[in-house]
A = this chain, B = another copy of it.
Amino acid sequence: MRSSQFFLPTLKETPAEAQIASHRLMLRAGMIRQTSAGIYAWLPLGWKVLRKISQIVREEQDAAGAQELLMPTIQSAELWRQSGRYDDYGKEMLRITDRHDRELLYGPTNEEMITDIFKTFVRSYKDLPKNLYHIQWKFRDEIRPRFGVMRGREFLMKDNYSFDLDAEGAKLSYRKMFLAYLRTFARMGLKAIPMRADTGPIGGDLSHEFIILAETGESGVFCHKDWLNLDVLQNPPEAGSDLKDFFAKYTSIYAATDEKHDPATCEVPEDQLVSARGIEVGHIFYFGTKYSKPMGAVVAGPDGEPVAVEMGSYGIGVSRLMGAIIESSHDENGIIWPDAVAPFHVGLINLKADDAACASLCDDLYAKLNAAGVETLYDDRNERPGAKFADMDLIGLPWQLTVGPRGLKAGVVELKRRATGEKRELSVEAALAELIKA
């Protein structure tokens, strides 16, 4: 993409309404635009990142055996009356009346709808287990939306739902998601700590939140300091394992949210206990028959007797993840994207766009990078070098490749790694080889 054509409205000033780094930087980098309180349009740069984050989530769900579908945003109130949650949910639920005076709502989550779909089609234990997910916009009418996409009203969530014949199967489904979540966040360059958590309005008695430690986090959390240096995927379980050892290992090191942490009973010595703030990016629940019983999600068991299925649900805040990644990875000049979710891999900067030799080399590099499948943003604008460098640091692409008249004479270009700031002068060929391999 050429910057001269790209719709990338970066801002020089810091917007006054933004209180935390990720919100400030997403606005300044031209990634989002608020259209109503807590509701955002995703501009091209932001949308590119959101799609990459979604794709990683999707791949790890697929790898764990979950199947993707898509449920609609608008649901009927009737479904929620069946589970008993319609009145419980309060003002956070956006309630709607259609032209025929039917009561609808904008889904804040999908336990009821998926249970209804499941029970319509699945009748036998032979069709279990099933694990179904979607990545869909949700709405929660927060009383005070804030922190940009971290606590928006319309937000993108991956939610899935597992159905098993018995508790043993349901707990295996839970452990599979536990592992899938650790893998998902690790691929995005995030360390997410699974913490024992309250189940809230979803229900059930086994639940973990996945928390990114960050000063700007909204949740108070506690964990053993061993978590700080732990590589959660250093010893991945073997394929086909029942994941019991894996799960036991990672749940044996203390980590709990505010609500679950009790100083009176916590056995971690004070000097080894970390009290911190964190951002919740995922939450998993095992809640047994809480929905299957009232809604009649029953299958015929091996002996022909009806069995209410054992369920769990699993959520990842896909749009919130973007904020969490930026909170974890930025400096005073802007965002530092982990390679896996960067909107482009390389920023190609022509320091003198009106110089024929510079333009010719840049055009050639741009064509070669594209041909090799390396996503490149090519700053071909007629701007001062300072403005170009500042924009490129702000939007945080992993690599910057700079071509200027002086280097050109010496036969070199400059390659900068955004994360470290390290700069090297290289021949054109060496720079290309490095970017295509990286």
Contact = CB atoms under 8 A, between A and B. Distances in A.
Interface of A: 5-7, 9, 30, 33, 35-37, 39-44, 46-47, 50, 65, 67-76, 79, 91-92, 94, 96, 98-99, 102, 104, 106, 113, 116-117, 120-122, 130, 132, 137, 139, 141, 143, 153-154
B96 A91 contact: no
Nearest to A79: B35
22 contacts: A5-B65, A7-B67, A7-B69, A7-B132, A33-B121, A35-B72, A35-B79, A35-B113, A35-B116, A36-B75, A36-B104, A39-B74, A41-B69, A41-B72, A42-B70, A44-B68, A46-B69, A47-B68, A50-B70, A74-B94, A94-B98, A106-B106
A73 B35 CA distance: 11
Contact of A98 (B46, B47, B141): B141
Most buried by B among A5, A30, A99, A132: A99
Q: Is the interface of A mostly helix, strand, loop or mixed?
A: mixed
Contacts of A73: 73, 137, 154
Contact of A121 (B9, B42, B75, B104): B9
Given A36-B74, A44-B132, A74-B94, 9 more contacts: A7-B69, A7-B121, A33-B121, A35-B76, A36-B102, A39-B74, A44-B67, A96-B96, A106-B106
- How many copies the complex holds: the figure is 2
Contact of A33 (B102, B117, B143): B117
A423 to B, nearest CB: 31
Contacts of A98: 94, 141
Given A41-B117, A99-B141, A141-B99, A130 B72 contact: no
A41 B74 CA distance: 10
Given A7-B67, A7-B132, A47-B68, A139 B74 contact: yes
B72 A39 contact: yes
Contacts of A68: 44, 47
A88 B212 CA distance: 47
A71 B113 contact: no
Nearest to A143: B99
Contact of A70 (B41, B70, B76, B104): B41
Contacts of A102: 36-37
Nearest to A129: B5
A121 B46 CA distance: 15
A246 B39 CA distance: 42
Contacts of A43: 69, 117
Contacts of A132: 7, 44
B69 A47 contact: yes
A425 B76 CA distance: 51
A106 B36 CA distance: 13
Contacts of A36: 72, 74-76, 102, 104
A130 B141 CA distance: 34
B7 A41 contact: no
Nearest to A11: B121
A106 B74 contact: yes
Most buried by B among A7, A9, A153: A7
Contacts of A41: 69-72, 113, 117
Contacts of A75: 35-36
Nearest to A131: B7
A98 to B, nearest CB: 5
Given A7-B130, A35-B76, A70 B47 contact: yes
A91 B99 CA distance: 6
